[in-house]
Structure 1
Amino acid sequence: MSQSPGFVDLDNPTHVCKLRKAIYGLKQAPRAWYHELRKFLIASGFHNSHADTSFFVLNTGGNLLYLLVYVDDIILTGNDDTMVHKFMQLLAHQFSLKDLGHLSYFLGVEVIPNDHGILLSQRSYIVDLLTRTKMMDAKPVHTPLPTSPPITLHSGSPLKDPTEYRTIVDSLQYLLITRLDIAFDVYKLSQYMHQPTTEHWILVKLLLRYLCGSSSDDIQLYHDSPLSLHAFSDSDWAGNKDDLISTSAYVVYIGRNPISWSSKKQRTVARSSTEAEYWSATATTAELNWVSSLLTELGVVLPQSPVIYCDNIGATNLCSNPVFHSRMKHVAIGFHFICEQVQNGTLRVSHVSSDD
């Protein structure tokens, strides 16, 4: 650390100070805090999760403690109230902490217990967003984005100042914690952050109008739900009209509880609908493996193997019998397929004269 003004060593003015302790605000401070907290938890008998490094599990003879940390915000729960209380005292002895009681609000998400389980809501966050954008009294709509005409990069004229567009879309991304119904729409609008147009701005306001009429839509997690782990996988073949890249999507459930979802653009151009669906199923498989690993660390035993539901027969057969790859009906989207390989350096296109 540089020598502070007024405390510079005149004999060694170019020397720096060696920190004995991380100072709040420096780049290494969050890492130093995590290592300090992790060292204490490991010494207390906790096991650091491999699936999520911010998650810790203590299992002593069937008595479980779960601890989830986000910077200096901590959720602690377990199946033994006495054990939870004792560890709270131990934690308070080591660190300065404030007990906020039963979980009711965490990182912008309201946690509301009820007879069926718990309700996760971001209504307050939505209200703040609508108030900030002056859309609180806007006329609600029933769908977040229109299905036609297709949204493209060059539709409309470029915005003179794209700052507000980027700010609102950034804020909408945080809503995806509980609002899987707008996952595709936010992903789509995020693709134009570098060059938003007037048409894109109209679509952002349309999405805000949809939130205005659905701000109370929450996720109910049921405590009596079965432990069956399954997922729904899908894709739209060449759905992006700018580069003809497909979009993969999945929703992962434990019983009737949705726990993970995604809507993302694929990295390569799929030459058939089967290929697009297969890549979507691949992404879903990776997510299911992660969820299964996390459940194992939680001490949860699944009664049966996870299941992926896919609506494409070719992709389904390909997953179970690799020999079917020879029957995939590739429909060439020639220009984009070749262009991608040229850009990646795996193909070269050179000119030759007609005579030759």
Structure 2
Amino acid sequence: MFTIKHNADGSIERYKARLVAKGYTQTYGIDYEETFAPVAKLNTVRVLLSLAANLDWPLHQFDVKNAFLHGELTEEVYMDIPPSYNTTQTGTVCRLRKALYGLKQSPRAWFGRFTMAMKNNGFKQCNSDHTMFLKHRKGKEISQLQDYLATEFEMKDLGGLKYFLGIEVARSQQGIFLSQRKYVLDLLTDTGMLDCKPADTPIVQNHHLGEYPDQVPTNKERYQRLVGRLIYLSHTRPDIAYAVSVVSQFMHSPSEDHMNAVLRILRYLKSAPGKGLMFSKHGHLNIDGYSDADWAGNVTDRKSTSGYFTFVGGNLVTWRSKKQNVVALSSAEAEFRGMTKGICELLWLRKLLTELGYKPTSTMNLFCDNKAAIAIAQNPVQHDRTKHVEVDRHFIKQKLEAKVFQFPFVKSEDQLTDILTKAISSKAFHNSLD
């Protein structure tokens, strides 16, 4: 396989050629067993960046050359002789002792090898995110780690963090800025929309997108490919999270209306391709969240959409826009279920910071704009109104009594999470972003 690797500015970094195994011919139970490998959470990366901005941490990046080739195989795997490799014997095959790119078990084999190396060097695997390894120690640990890894793998020192996984990182005295500008411009170029007319918001108000009997189908493969690329872009663009969540619901049977909604997102991206996330120094590491829900907003099944934003050290680190699994009988119930999701995220952040050595000392705030939902959370007497959300109610009440959370009321016009639950006006949309 031949590929070209680019830098953040679009220039060519290097040409890459690899021998890739035909993993699609592998049979489960014969050629491979377990293939799952943990993948780094971008949520965790954003939390670390917020800590780095608030605590003035250095950020250093290494690259393992041909990482997957270091994984050791436990299964007995054979492959055909590679092209241009001459042998006089007929019917000869190669037995693989180590992993190759293309094999289904390669990611898992590499992660196992890397985990073993990190643990041997005194690092502890984090329980909140298994792809993060910690070592609490003063001194020149970065250079020591670099020297150790160089004995285990072929390493490349990339210096200060500037560009990873298509995400650009810019650091200044003001803080750390993340964006995917090059990714956006490449996406617009590939779709022929670099010169399109920009849109002010990623989705129109009162869009009524759904599945209808008379809908005109569109190219399914193109639709899925575009939405997939937009999902990855959402890692630094919470402003498109709701719109992407909506169009993702029609991957199985997209229509022309759905495709037009995707193109609308692209037109919005054209208006500001360099937008991203700013991590500034705020002098604290408090955890706060905003939770909201749009009751019965889905025109097809009348399910509600939940959304939350969470902040660590004053910086936005995680967010989610998701249709609820069941139909809510009231707006309070929809908000209540949304609060539960927000609480779970805040609890995870609390656990992560505790493992990092920065256990939160103050009660976490989850801002909500529904007084009925707050009242139900705080008052167990309202039992008849909450039988259908009994598990959520007890979960929330327990955390309230332990003073882990409190639920301050926030006015609807100050509810940041509106942009994650519904299509709102241009003015309200940009006010939330600011």
| TM tier, smaller | 0.7 to 0.9
**C-alpha distance in structure 1 between counterparts of 2:173 and 2:362, whole Å:** 28
Deviation at 1:120?
0.4
Q: Deviations over 1:194-222 (max 9, x none)?
A: 11111111111111111000112121101
Residue 52 of structure 1 is matched in structure 2 by: 129
One-letter amino acid of the counterpart of residue 204, structure 2: P
Structure 2 gaps of 5+ residues are: 1-76, 82-88, 389-434
- Map residues 247-326 of structure 1 onto 2, 5 A cutoff: 247-326=305-384
Deviation at 1:21?
3.2
Q: What is the SS of the residue equivalent to 1:101?
A: strand
Residue 105 of structure 2 is matched in structure 1 by: 28
Structure 1 gaps of 5+ residues are: 10-15, 64-79, 331-356
Q: Which runs of 4+ in 1 moved over 6 A?
A: none
Report the CA distance shift for 1:26/1:7 in structure 2 as closer, same or farther (over 3 A): farther
One-letter amino acid of the counterpart of residue 207, structure 1: I
**C-alpha distance in structure 1 between counterparts of 2:136 and 2:344, whole Å:** 27
One-letter amino acid of the counterpart of residue 42, structure 1: K
Q: What is the SS of the residue equivalent to 1:99?
A: strand
| TM-score w.r.t. length of structure 2 | 0.66
Q: Deviations over 1:222-246 (max 9, x none)?
A: 1334211010000011110100110
**C-alpha distance in structure 2 between counterparts of 1:29 and 1:103, whole Å:** 26
The structure having more radius of gyration, on CA atoms, is 1
Deviation at 1:30?
1.5
One-letter amino acid of the counterpart of residue 102, structure 2: G
**C-alpha distance in structure 1 between counterparts of 2:387 and 2:294, whole Å:** 16
**C-alpha distance in structure 2 between counterparts of 1:32 and 1:7, whole Å:** 31
Deviation at 1:306?
1.5
The answer to whether structure 1 residue 136 and structure 2 residue 194 are counterparts is yes
Q: Deviations over 1:31-61 (max 9, x none)?
A: 121111111111111010111111000013x
Q: What is the SS of the residue equivalent to 2:157?
A: coil
Question: Cα RMSD between the aligned structures?
Answer: 2.1
- Map residues 190-269 of structure 1 onto 2, 5 A cutoff: 190-269=248-327
Report the CA distance shift for 1:22/1:141 in structure 2 as closer, same or farther (over 3 A): closer
**C-alpha distance in structure 1 between counterparts of 2:191 and 2:161, whole Å:** 30
Report the CA distance shift for 1:37/1:329 in structure 2 as closer, same or farther (over 3 A): closer
Select which of 121, 136, 141 maps to 1:83. Answer: 141
Report the CA distance shift for 1:155/1:167 in structure 2 as closer, same or farther (over 3 A): farther
The answer to whether structure 1 residue 153 and structure 2 residue 211 are counterparts is yes
**C-alpha distance in structure 2 between counterparts of 1:322 and 1:18, whole Å:** 65
Deviation at 1:320?
2.2
Select which of 100, 107, 111 maps to 2:158. Answer: 100
| TM-score w.r.t. length of structure 1 | 0.80
Deviation at 1:164?
1.5
The answer to whether structure 1 residue 187 and structure 2 residue 264 are counterparts is no
Report the CA distance shift for 1:3/1:54 in structure 2 as closer, same or farther (over 3 A): closer
The answer to whether structure 1 residue 114 and structure 2 residue 172 are counterparts is yes
Deviation at 1:83?
1.8
**C-alpha distance in structure 2 between counterparts of 1:7 and 1:22, whole Å:** 24
